[in-house]
Amino acid sequence: MSTATIAQEKTPPTITTVTLGTATPGGGFPVYGAAVVETVNAADASLLLQPKNTKGSTENVPLLEAGQLDIALVQGEVVHEALSGIGRPPANLLIIAAMYSTPGMYVVRADSPYRSIGDLKGKPVAFGAKGSGLVILARYVLDGIGLDQERDFQAIYLERAGDGPAMVADGRAAALWGAGLGWPGFATVAKAPGGARFIAPNADETRRILAKHSFLRPMSVPAGSYPGQNEAIASVGSWSFILARPTLPDDVAYRLARALHQNEAALGARLPQARESTAANTLAAAPRKELIHPGVLRYLREIGLAQ
């Protein structure tokens, strides 16, 4: 064996550092981001995925556009507004992966008198961190039934997503809005002494919401997703995505997709809601195929999912 071959074998692979924007501590995005980081870094020695806390979805989009993040977690309604150019020019961002579905609902203490969205009118409601996409999801859901966050509720916007459960526990907030399976805020309230109850749009409200905002989808929270939740909860929501800056090289996107999807079982074992982060869901949930990063599409073609 030549000296050059031996030296080549001993030379470690070139490491590509990739910065992943998440959100404020205490919410679902940092937890999901940690599971993705562990999975990718264990799977591909040539990638070093580094998480970065941000203010959430609404900050992640401009940070991606400015090239200050390589990839970031972005909630579905923010993805819809950014890519569609609602309230701003359309964003030139690309999809790396579908994260998970985010059915929206409220959690209240089990001993509270509130049993419907209408019961919460005029009450203090924590809608999440100001930069969170969950706040925007709530806006669309309420608009669909003729309500407004600011006008019809005493809206509370949090500095940190993790502050919400304590406000419900001590009565400063009548309810906490959130979304998704395994969402930390819901789990914390549900595990507290006395337990919790969940409030979602009823069948008529769901029909009205979907008629007005067709990009939302009917979704369900399976029974047992949270402590004390004995029945499935029907709601509405969207898919959250891992988005990339437009200049992320195709090869890096390909390696990210390969590391994620060859290790879907490991990712799901680290975080139950990440079981939805599959290659098939990425293809199915993308609003348009051309929004998927070319490097990711290359991987999806290799495994026979995409044309």
Quick one: 37 and 95 in the same domain? yes
Spatial distance between the Cα atoms of 78 and 56, rounded to a whole number of angstroms: 10
Instruction: Work out whether the CA dihedral 205, 206, 212, 213 comes out positive or negative.
Output: positive
Angle, to 10 degrees, between the axis of helix 250-261 and the axis of helix 28-43?
100
Say if 4 falls within a structural domain. no
Spatial distance between the Cα atoms of 83 and 93, rounded to a whole number of angstroms: 7
Question: Which domain-ending residue is among 237, 261, 283?
Answer: 237
Say if 9 falls within a structural domain. no
Quick one: 73 and 146 in the same domain? no
Question: Which domain-ending residue is among 197, 214, 237?
Answer: 237
Quick one: 224 and 249 in the same domain? no
Say if 283 falls within a structural domain. yes
Quick one: 157 and 257 in the same domain? no
- What does the pLDDT read at residue 164? 95
Residues 6+ apart with CB under 8 A from 6: none
Quick one: 137 and 195 in the same domain? yes
3-state secondary structure of 137: helix
3-state secondary structure of 56: coil
Say if 2 falls within a structural domain. no
- What does the pLDDT read at residue 1? 45
Quick one: 254 and 202 in the same domain? no
Spatial distance between the Cα atoms of 274 and 33, rounded to a whole number of angstroms: 10
Residues 6+ apart with CB under 8 A from 195: 109, 110, 227, 228
Say if 8 falls within a structural domain. no
Quick one: 134 and 221 in the same domain? yes
- What residues in the chain have per-residue pLDDT under 70? 1-13
Spatial distance between the Cα atoms of 75 and 142, rounded to a whole number of angstroms: 17
Quick one: 233 and 266 in the same domain? no
Question: Which domain-ending residue is among 237, 256, 285?
Answer: 237
Chain center to CA of 89:
22
Say if 53 falls within a structural domain. yes
3-state secondary structure of 196: strand
300 close to 285: Cβ distance less than 8 angstroms: no
Q: How far is CA 126 from CA 14, 53, 60, 186, in A?
A: 46, 21, 22, 12
Residue 212 domain boundaries? 102-237
Quick one: 108 and 88 in the same domain? no
CATH of the domain at 284: 3.40.190.10
- What does the pLDDT read at residue 272? 92
Quick one: 114 and 191 in the same domain? yes
Rounded CA Rg of the chain:
20
Say if 7 falls within a structural domain. no
Angle, to 10 degrees, between the axis of helix 76-84 and the axis of helix 133-144?
80
The pTM of the full predicted model, rounded to 2 decimals, is: 0.85
How many structural domains compose the chain? 2
Longest dimension (CA), the chain: 79
Quick one: 166 and 270 in the same domain? no
Quick one: 96 and 106 in the same domain? no
Residues 6+ apart with CB under 8 A from 278: 98, 261, 264
Say if 1 falls within a structural domain. no
Spatial distance between the Cα atoms of 36 and 267, rounded to a whole number of angstroms: 7
Residue 41 has a CB neighbour count (10 Å cut-off) of: 15
